[in-house]
Chains A and B, each alone.
Chain A
Amino acid sequence: MDASRRGFLTIAGLSLVGAAGGSTLIAAIGEPGTAVESLPAEPPGGGRRLAMVIDLRKFGHDGELVERCIRACHRAHNVPDFGADRKNEIKWIWAEDFESTFRDEEFRYLRRDLQGKPTLLLCNHCDNPPCTRVCPTKATWRRPADGIVMMDWHRCIGCRYCIVACPYGSRSFNWTDPRPHLESPQADFPTRTRGVVEKCTFCEELLARGGQPACVEACADDEIVFGDLNDPGSKVRRLLAEHLAIRRQPGLGTRPEVYYIVEDPRTLAETAPAAVVPGAAENDHV
């Protein structure tokens, strides 16, 4: 039996499994109240729109949690550490202060609790991604089943057009061999080779095994919430319905799917203890 026929049988078998998974999901969406909190273990069935909500109310100014998320992601995906070498730097998720993250807002007289707050940045897994449009080899594409913007490191020719097209700086290029810059590579995730582009994949390999993205797992208290926007009962939808959330540069038409909850003024007094407000905390830190 030749390889392509074998492949056809596999696909046929799997689409049955996929269809079954999809219909359970659709049934779940149909009934309000039956929230799908954890993601199903089946391969992506259809009609999901995975998104991330970063609840900035719950992040402190010390950057401790932010660092924990970055470490978890970079360890899980064998992202090399180039230290202070910005030229060769590779990052899937990283931190900038709030003002730089939302640079186009040109915040002035910003609320004190947001000033200089370390904010996580990662691939936005746009609904209308400019990076996939420009790729000359289909080495990066948006998965229609769940909206993840994927990469095929076997196919990438390293032209870096996707990096040029991304307005968010989410993509990195392997200018040199990453292996010497990895302490001990995880065996169950590949490293990359010099000459290809890489970025966050919403941990699709963990999702496929029923898990959650590594940065979400690194959180203790729903500081980052991940889920399906097409499910009206999902936690991400509830959060977005109840709070003011903003996205990076939505005016470019890319439809980014990473949301940032900025403190809701009505609940600010309850959720933001004085200690996290830099003005009030100055005395503690000298």
Chain B
Amino acid sequence: MHDAAKIVGGLVLFAAVMTSPFWYNALTAAPAAVPALDPPPNGSKECVEPRAYMRANHMDLLNEWRDLVVRTGQRDYVSTTNGRAFDMSLSRTCLDCHSNKAEFCDRCHTFLAVNPPCWDCHVEPKEAP
């Protein structure tokens, strides 16, 4: 290989530059403040599944609901936790409790810099006056 030193050196430099934000954060930044999410304004205490599961997997659950409702026409979801039946609907079920989208969905999504396209089509609940 011609110019082996230049090529390898260049690759090392490239890797160093590309990963520099991680190094910088690891060495200097304080642990990020995890945003606190507001509970449902209607006082509901129980989600369709346990909180830990929802926190980690709500996006998968929503995708699954979406496919079941739209593609198979099934609308009832039976909770594996408490056996209650729910309407698999983002606007009618999820947002019925979590009507505080800004303090719940958005706060965490903004923190994580994710931008789910749900609200391109689904209508945001009106904030309570």
Contact = CB atoms under 8 A, between A and B. Distances in A.
Chain A directly contacts chain B within the complex, with at least one CB pair under 8 Å: yes
Contacts of A7: 64, 68
Interface string B68-107: 1011111111101000000001011000000000000000
A143 B92 contact: no
B120 to A, nearest CB: 4
B55 interface: no
Nearest to A13: B78
Contact of A193 (B70, B80, B117): B117
Contacts of B120: 193
A3 B61 contact: yes
B122 interface: yes
Contact of A14 (B71, B74, B91, B92): B74
Contacts of B125: 187
B32 interface: no
B121 A43 contact: no
A10 interface: yes
Nearest to A6: B80
A145 B73 contact: yes
A256 B26 CA distance: 64
A9 B117 contact: no
Please tell me the size bucket of the interface on A. Answer: 20 to 34
B126 A187 contact: yes
Contact of B73 (A188, A192, A204): A204
Contacts, number: 69
A78 B91 CA distance: 14
Contact of A188 (B53, B74, B92, B117): B92
Interface of A: 1, 3-4, 6-7, 9-11, 13-14, 17-18, 43-44, 78, 141, 143, 145, 150, 152-154, 185-193, 204, 208
Given A9-B80, A11-B74, A187-B125, 13 more contacts: A1-B80, A13-B76, A14-B74, A43-B74, A43-B75, A78-B123, A152-B71, A186-B123, A187-B91, A187-B126, A188-B89, A188-B92, A190-B123
Interface of B: 49, 53, 57, 60-61, 64, 66, 68, 70-78, 80, 89, 91-92, 117, 120-123, 125-126
30 contacts: A1-B53, A3-B57, A3-B60, A3-B61, A6-B61, A6-B64, A7-B68, A9-B78, A10-B74, A14-B76, A18-B74, A43-B73, A43-B74, A43-B75, A43-B76, A44-B73, A141-B71, A145-B73, A152-B70, A152-B71, A154-B70, A188-B89, A188-B91, A188-B123, A190-B91, A190-B121, A191-B123, A192-B121, A193-B121, A204-B73
Closest 4 CB pairs of A and B: A190-B121, A3-B60, A193-B120, A187-B123
